[in-house]
Every structure is written in C-alpha cells, then in structure tokens.
Amino acid sequence: MSSLAVLFVIAPPVWAVGAPGKPFHKIDTREVFMRTLDIYAKRDHVTQRILCAAPDQLGRIQQNFSAHLGFQGVSVTAGGPDWFGAVSRGLEKLKPEIQTVIIHDGCCPAVPYPVIDDLEEAVKKTGAAVLVLTPGMPLARSDERGQLLDRLNPATLREIQSPQIFSRVVLEKAYAGRAGILPPPPDDAALVRLLGGKLTAIPGSRLNIRAGTEEDVRVAGEMVKMLPKPRSKAPLSPFDEAQW
C-alpha cells in the first residue's frame, strides 16, 4: 500500500437527515469517535491521521480530547458546515507524500479489520473502492407524507457503508469539481462517480452499524465486542520474542 492517510469525519453526512450521528456518545467508557480511531491503532502503514470536524464541534474536541488525540498521532481540523466541507479541509492538510486516502465516518466504530484489508487491496483496481451490502429487509418508496408507494427489489439495490478509500488523485479531482453539483451527492463515492470516476464494490459487514441515534450507539457497542481481533505480528525469531 502506498503512503496512506485516514480522514475520520465527524461532521454529519448529507444523507443522514434525522440521524446526524452520535460521535461523542460513549460505548462503555470511550466515545464513539475514539472507538473508531482505535480501529487503525495497529495499522502501522497509516502515516497520517486527521480528525475532520464541523466548526461547532472544534471547541469541544480541543477542550476535552487534545491530549488523547496527540498521543495517538491524530491532528484535528475543521471545515464546514457539512461533511464535504470537513473533508475538503482535511484534504488541504494531507502531507505531500500521501497517495491513498481512507475516509471513515467517525460514527462507524465496528468495522472488522479484514474488511479494511480488502478495501486497501480493492483501491488498486480503479482508484476508488466502497463497501456494499444487499439490503436484508424489504424496501418501499414513500411519499412526503410517509405513505408507502411501490416496493423496491432488494436484489438490485446496495447499502453503501463507511469507510471508503480513494487514490489521492481521484479524490482531489472529485472535490475540485464538486462546486457545481446540485443537489449535493450523498457521499464521497457518489461524488467520484458523478464526475466520471469508477468504483470497485466489495462486500461490507453486518457488524458495521453507524451510530446515528442513541439506539444505534447501544447496538454498535455490542458489535464492537464481536469484532475479530487484528492479526498479531509474528516475532522474527524466538530470540526476538524473548527479548521483548
């Protein structure tokens, strides 16, 4: 994997109307977004970590989390007022050597380690890769009053999950062209696709629930407990293990 950065975004996504996210709610004793940072703690090839917040979140982060974030090597930036503004500011902070960027919703703390491995491999194909799931329940379209209309075929639909991964060139090109797009696309992958980019879709995980509401936070807490453990690094030799 080329030089890799992760942008942890806690500004609310465009699509999350009514469930902007609970990044500061706690799972046990740690905030949701801090649990999300933990996913990458043992991924030593990640060379830059940036927390991308909305302007109204910045003061809270600086007051309560600066020491913890500094210890983890996570820098903080704010742009807004929405997801795209926060990511745009994060892109401005990337080191020159960064070639690949993961964008991870800070409200998604239960992503299995192997899924991220698969993403990092998939991005090599088209410069952009996303996690998808086939909907597990029947779906229907509704009108503005909430009345159900026609049923949708789940076999032709996919749920898009976070994180998503992009080559830096592809992502920066998409953000350079986003100003004239109305209505705004729901996420970064959709932005890339609208501007002519190609996406590689790979299977996501049912464990990967977004903590959008208080109920979701409780469910995400249970999912975190079910995550497979990251692979341990094997010692180079019995002597190295003894020295440790």
What pLDDT score was predicted for residue 80?
78
Residues 136-191 pLDDT 10s: 888 888 888 888 888 888 888 899 999 999 999 999 999 999 987 888 899 999 99
Give the CATH fold of the 4-137+151-243 domain.
Spore Coat Polysaccharide Biosynthesis Protein SpsA; Chain A (3.90.550)
What pLDDT score was predicted for residue 242?
43
Nearest to 3 by CA among 154, 138, 168, 170: 168
What pLDDT score was predicted for residue 145?
87
What pLDDT score was predicted for residue 200?
98
Residue 31 burial (C-beta neighbours within 10 Å; 0-12, 13-18, 19+): buried
Q: Which residues of the chain have pLDDT under 70?
A: 1-2, 231-244
Q: And the tokens for 76?
A: 């903080």
Nearest to 38 by CA among 71, 11, 4, 79: 71
> Considering the entire predicted model, what is its pTM?
0.90
